[in-house]
Amino acid sequence: MENQVETIKYTPEKAKQNALAKLDLIRKWQEFRRKAVNKLQADYDFVKLHNSSDSYLFSVLGKISRGSLHRWKASLDGTEDYTRLIPNYKYVSVNEYRTCLTDEEIKIFMGLLLHPNRICIGKAIALTKYKLKEQGQSFIPADITFRRYAKWFKDNNYDKWVLARDGEKALSDKVEPYIKRDASLLDVGDILVADGHKLAFQVINPFTGKPCRATLVGFLDWKSTALVGYEIMLEENTQCIASALRNAIINLDMIPKIVYQDNGRAFRAKYFTCGSGSDSSKRKRGAFVGEPNSFSDDKGFGELGFYGLYAKLGIETVFARPYNARSKVIERFFKEFQEGFEKLMPSYVGSSIINKPAYLKRNEIFHKNLHQDYVPTIEETIKMIDMWLKFKNSQPCTNAPNMTIAEVLENRKKQNIDISLLDDLMLATEVKTIQRNGVRFLNCDYFDERLYGLRGKVLVKYNLFDLTNVKVFTPKGEYLCTAERVTETHPMAKILGTVEDLEDYKQKIQKQQKLKRKTIKSVKKLLTNNEIKFLECHSEFISESATQETLKQVQGDNKFKPRSNGVQKINNGEKSLPIFKNNSEKYEYLIKHNPSDTWIAEFKQTKEYKLLYE
């Protein structure tokens, strides 16, 4: 096939137009001559009329002579074949270029021009001419000759030019054809596109109180192009992504079918993926238009027996190719977000050194004096983003004609999702210690009655969109309670406070008394009546010396054998039991010295034993 293409004669389009115009002009000339008596005079008159007219043939052929007409007529030889009027010039094809540059000069010049350091054309020409002079060459081509060749090579070998100078990613972004995807075939909620975006303005770090650039992780609905869920965190990690997905599901009130997300380290963590390890499941997750399967070489997905959060919710995961921004439609949203929202923030610092504002540059005293040093908190930032999203959703939707983004979003089928089922997607990074007022998080106390009496480490799950309560779990992931934020009380509610202040004070006092009664009631259930009386008697009336005297009297009477936590005399001259502070000390002592004692079996049936040892 290649040989067949090479044998085809190449003729420029301009030469064809000239030949067709010559044929038309010869026809008119012959018709003009037939009407004239003097043929010679007719030839001169026809040439004069043509050269003085503004016809189309004159615009193509220009001025002609009588000899040209006769020469063209002779070339036709009585035929109507216009190709006979095409000059037999050696036309070069697109892949060829006529130049006076030798092969050695082209080799030196293109070796510099195609260098990955991207040497400019002017510098490559200067270096080429210098090297030719060093080699002793007498004739050096002009600069314009080199420039014309470079322009021809770039226009006709743009793929080679880009790959050699810019690399494979530039070849993929600038030269390779792309696939157009029809988003009108989707429904709202079918595919959510996820990615992280480093904010170009500063917010207040809630943990340190200092300004910082946070990360926005968003989930965009492909059909409506609306940002249905997002989370703002200090860094892009798996927990931040999970919280953003939770917000997206709550706002949509439906679980998406597919999540199409970034190929970053946080998104590809095994925290999200189903590690079944089977080839069929990998092909299923990687089956997407224009996206290859890249799961086989990722060790994080090959661990057997691990089921991630996406698989638990029935969501298929598809990952974009690395460094392929055109495959993620959310990149367009982030660009609009930066231009329409981030640049309006007073704490805008730019996404790089190139586009930072003037007040951050050196010696810009005027702009520094005009700048307002206001940095919003995360809560304020969330409110402002929601206001901007309301404006964004009022714009026309690109995937649905004659409808806005909000109107397309409203046409979804809601599923009435139970929010409690999404607790696994809440942020869970803070490990706290239970104190008197519960757990302390972000300079606030969170308390619930089920935390009363507990000490130790717990796991706090929270959502920055709602900090009125946090969920508390054991370090093993078992749910304990939902702790409410503790509010402060008026210092003199009864006299100076309002009715609400007084009622708040009364409820807190009642809660304290309720918890105290609960503790007393629980302790009484753990001990028998005789044990309580014995402990009360010894704690109020018996001193340490009196206790020793009682021990001597009891040791002298072999018949007295009380069954309490106090003193017990054993027959046959055995040693007496000491006084124990509680039942656990007595249990430990008897297990070690007298494991056959019947008191041990009775103690194992009590709630105190089950609480302490089981």
Q: What's the average model confidence in pLDDT over 352-368?
A: 84
pTM over 0.85: no
Q: Is 359 within 8 Å of 368 (Cβ atoms)?
A: yes
- Please identify which residue in the block is written with the tokens 């030196």: 108
Alpha-carbon distance of 14 to 28, in angstroms, equals 21
3-state helix, strand, coil in the chain (%, to 5): 45, 15, 40
- The yes-or-no verdict on residue 271 having pLDDT over 50 is yes
Alpha-carbon distance of 283 to 289, in angstroms, equals 13
Alpha-carbon distance of 260 to 478, in angstroms, equals 31
Q: What's the average model confidence in pLDDT over 213-228?
A: 91
The DSSP string of 489-521 is --TTTTTTS-HHHHHHHHHHHHHHHHHHHHHHH
What type of residue sits at position 286? Answer: G
Q: Is 166 within 8 Å of 173 (Cβ atoms)?
A: no
**Per-residue pLDDT at 564:** 43
Please give the residue that has the higher pLDDT: either 459 or 288. Answer: 459
Beta strands in 289-436 (DSSP E): 316-319, 427-433
In the 8-state DSSP scheme, what is residue 451?
Answer: G
Alpha-carbon distance of 592 to 595, in angstroms, equals 6
* Residue 12 dihedral angles phi and psi, to the nearest 5°: -65, 150
- The yes-or-no verdict on residue 539 having pLDDT over 50 is no
Task: Print burial letters for 33-61: b (CB count within 10 Å at least 16), e (below 16).
Answer: beeeeeeeebbeebbeebeeeeeebbeeb
How do residues 307-336 score in pLDDT, each as one tens digit?
Answer: 366 777 788 888 776 666 566 788 889 999
**Per-residue pLDDT at 436:** 85
**Pick from 367-371, 391-395, 420-424, 428-432: least confident:** 420-424
Q: What's the average model confidence in pLDDT over 52-77?
A: 90
- The yes-or-no verdict on residue 344 having pLDDT over 70 is yes
Please name the CATH architecture into which domain 183-408 falls: 2-Layer Sandwich (3.30)
Of 119, 122, 121, 140, residue with least CA distance to 131: 140
Alpha-carbon distance of 21 to 81, in angstroms, equals 12
Percent of the chain residues topping a pLDDT of 70: 77
Taking the CA atoms of residue 223, residue 383, residue 251 and residue 332 in that order, the dihedral angle to the nearest 10 degrees is: 20
Average pLDDT over the chain, rounded to whole? 78
**Per-residue pLDDT at 476:** 81
* Residue 77 dihedral angles phi and psi, to the nearest 5°: 55, 40
Q: What's the average model confidence in pLDDT over 283-296?
A: 37
Please give the residue that has the higher pLDDT: either 157 or 183. Answer: 157
How do residues 557-609 score in pLDDT, each as one tens digit?
Answer: 444 344 444 444 444 444 566 777 678 788 888 888 888 888 888 888 887 77
Q: What order do you get walking across the sheet with 466-473 strand by strand?
A: 427-433, 457-463, 466-473, 479-485, 444-447, 439-441
Rounded to 5°, the CA angle 165-170-174 comes to 115
Alpha-carbon distance of 110 to 4, in angstroms, equals 30
The bridge status of strand 258-261 relative to strand 316-319 is parallel
20 CB contacts (<8 Å, ≥6 apart)? 82
Of 442, 485, 378, 380, residue with least CA distance to 208: 442
- The yes-or-no verdict on residue 214 having pLDDT over 80 is yes
Q: What's the average model confidence in pLDDT over 36-52?
A: 90
Q: What's the average model confidence in pLDDT over 348-364?
A: 85
**Pick from 57-61, 231-235, 303-307, 356-360: least confident:** 303-307
Domain boundaries, the chain: 11-85, 103-174, 183-408, 426-485, 529-613
**Per-residue pLDDT at 565:** 43
> What's the pLDDT band for 53 if we cut at 50, 70, 90?
confident
Alpha-carbon distance of 280 to 297, in angstroms, equals 15
Which range, 118-127, 265-274, 413-422, has the best average confidence (pLDDT)?
Answer: 118-127
Tokens linked to 406: 């909000």
What are 378-385's contacts with CB under 8 Å, separation 24+?
378/203, 378/204, 378/206, 378/214, 378/232, 378/464, 379/464, 379/467, 381/203, 381/214, 381/232, 382/232, 382/464, 382/465, 384/341, 384/345, 385/216, 385/230, 385/341
Alpha-carbon distance of 157 to 114, in angstroms, equals 11
Of 576, 585, 584, residue with least CA distance to 554: 576
- Please identify which residue in the block is written with the tokens 């016809």: 55
Q: Is 473 within 8 Å of 480 (Cβ atoms)?
A: yes
- The yes-or-no verdict on residue 250 having pLDDT over 80 is yes
Taking the CA atoms of residue 473, residue 475, residue 477 and residue 478 in that order, the dihedral angle to the nearest 10 degrees is: -60
Q: What's the average model confidence in pLDDT over 211-235?
A: 88
Beta strands in 474-608 (DSSP E): 479-485
Stated as kind and residue range, the H or E segment containing 198 is: strand 191-198
- The yes-or-no verdict on residue 106 having pLDDT over 80 is yes
- The yes-or-no verdict on residue 449 having pLDDT over 50 is yes
- The CATH code that applies to domain 426-485 is 2.30.30
Q: What's the average model confidence in pLDDT over 472-499?
A: 83
Of 277, 278, 287, residue with least CA distance to 316: 287
Q: Is 25 within 8 Å of 50 (Cβ atoms)?
A: yes
- The yes-or-no verdict on residue 144 having pLDDT over 60 is yes
Alpha-carbon distance of 174 to 159, in angstroms, equals 9
